[in-house]
Structure 1
């Protein structure tokens, strides 16, 4: 029997929610993680039939589950509105909690089969939940699986680099805003006066590394850092924040990446809010967006557009 095979059906969402001021709802989907659990993400699609380029949107450490995700979808919806208007499908995602130095000590994830089921050398980490979401979204009939992008802020900016070091060929380009790359860059923190360790877990909430020189001097394994950055196979835009306590780490990330890739880009603004790339809605649900945030979001869209062809 001849004929064209039917197009794959869109996955069934577990929930659909309207988003204020928009006719483009949030479709809550579940992507199977590499170890068989499920990772929620909230997909919004732009107008038109597609297939559309797709942007994963991530912020900070993991945890919080569906309640965290729903709050982000509505309270920080402006970034998705901007991307939708530019023609990008996009999704806020949620992932598992960070494991202290799990990336540093765990190495690459290896899998095999024992007794007909999977076996791993370690548990997946939070950036591997992003891999699961990207692969799941790539199979959606309204998404172009060859045009996948990543926008991550703070810890999620570091997650982008961790993902790239172990999973090449997945993304077209990425944005790392205020990336907290102390683990990726193997920074020695034991003697930083504002860092304490309790029960084997470091408290870095008050850490200050504002200068590039101070950050560079704390790299403990230059060869390993070089290998991690050499594995980056896409253009990355690194965004800083002038008054941030970790601005030295943000800028050093760009400087080292630029040694390996001519298409690395750097922009930095002065702003009072960590995570300024994601404007927040006020108590009435209206996004409060200042000129710096508009300029930064326009720079992100421009960067994505230049690598979307």
Structure 2
């Protein structure tokens, strides 16, 4: 067993996933489950993420087995890939915490705030880039929902890590400094917003909800890679997805947009035999990575 490798477990009778623990920025550990294509490599790598954090190893193992189709597709295309588990989102932690700063006190590290969930992604990317058989200069990101927003948060503060990224149905509420004061369906309890019933299908309504356009612009200035934004036509937050793309496209000519009609949020991660829309979307994803590999 490699000194990097924490455990190896079967995906099925003839496929394996290597589980690793990446040291986080504050010295703890976050797990990820890596699958490699055939051959010695070095292989390009895709970080696969969905939603908020938490759930631990049980969540990670479930993703490896029940959502294996996306990894099968990427492996077939020649990409190493990994599901990861990161810490739980902190409500408005990105908005209020600012960039993470470190210093030394009495010979030990001191931080301006605790690391956030997207910084666990940073830790995994730095860790996997050092593994044998992985091309550390060709790292990619594929995130759905909150993990789509996490891609932009990561890019706004940590440049030079990724070759390209895909933000599918990105829930970019915090990134875009959106206010929901005039949305009766959004409630606040104990300082935590409940946006489960938010309906923002209109791009213009989402644009009007931006409270700090200068800060949004500064954040998007940090995007140093091509990004493909994926929407979902009937999603209640389609206006936010599309606005994320439009604001990025105003800054980068290599920003791309695709959208499909599908009943499932997170449709690019099928749990069974993919339907025609899912197959088309997955082909677009592989093509995007191939064009930037």
Query: TM-score, normalization: structure 1?
Result: 0.93
In the alignment, does 2:275 pair up with 1:290? yes
Q: Any idea what the Cα deviations from partners look like across 1:86-129, whole Å, max 9, x if unmatched?
A: 00000000000000000000000001111111100000000000
Partner of 1:201: 192
CA contact (8 A) 1:128 1:163 kept: yes
Partner of 2:286: 301
Query: Residue 5 of structure 2: SS of its match in structure 1?
Result: coil
Partner of 1:283: none
Q: Any idea what the Cα deviations from partners look like across 1:181-207, whole Å, max 9, x if unmatched?
A: 010000111221110000110001111
Q: Any idea what the Cα deviations from partners look like across 1:19-39, whole Å, max 9, x if unmatched?
A: 136x33110100000001100
Q: Any idea what the Cα deviations from partners look like across 1:176-230, whole Å, max 9, x if unmatched?
A: 0000001000011122111000011000111110010100011000100011111
Partner of 2:102: 111
Partner of 1:276: 267
Two-structure CA RMSD over aligned residues (Å): 1.0
Query: Residue 14 of structure 1: SS of its match in structure 2?
Result: strand
Partner of 1:13: 5
Query: TM-score, normalization: structure 2?
Result: 0.98
Mapped to 2, the partners of 1:296 and 1:19 lie a distance apart of: 24
TM-superposed CA distance for 1:10, in Å, is 4.6
In the alignment, does 2:243 pair up with 1:258? no
Partner of 2:181: 190
Mapped to 1, the partners of 2:149 and 2:2 lie a distance apart of: 31
Partner of 1:71: 62
Name which of 241, 246, 252 aligns with 2:237.
246
Q: Which moved more, 1:67-76 or 1:9-18?
A: 9-18
Name which of 78, 92, 108 aligns with 1:87.
78
Partner of 1:149: 140
Structure 1: which 4+ aligned runs deviate by more than 3 Å?
A: 9-12
Partner of 1:163: 154
Name which of 214, 239, 245 aligns with 2:205.
214
| Structure 2 residues not aligned, in runs of 5+ | none
Partner of 2:223: 232
Residue correspondences, number = 293
| Structure 1 residues not aligned, in runs of 5+ | 1-8, 281-286
Mapped to 2, the partners of 1:296 and 1:202 lie a distance apart of: 32
Partner of 2:29: 38
Q: Any idea what the Cα deviations from partners look like across 1:135-187, whole Å, max 9, x if unmatched?
A: 00000011000000000000000000000000011100000000000100001
Query: Residue 213 of structure 1: SS of its match in structure 2?
Result: helix
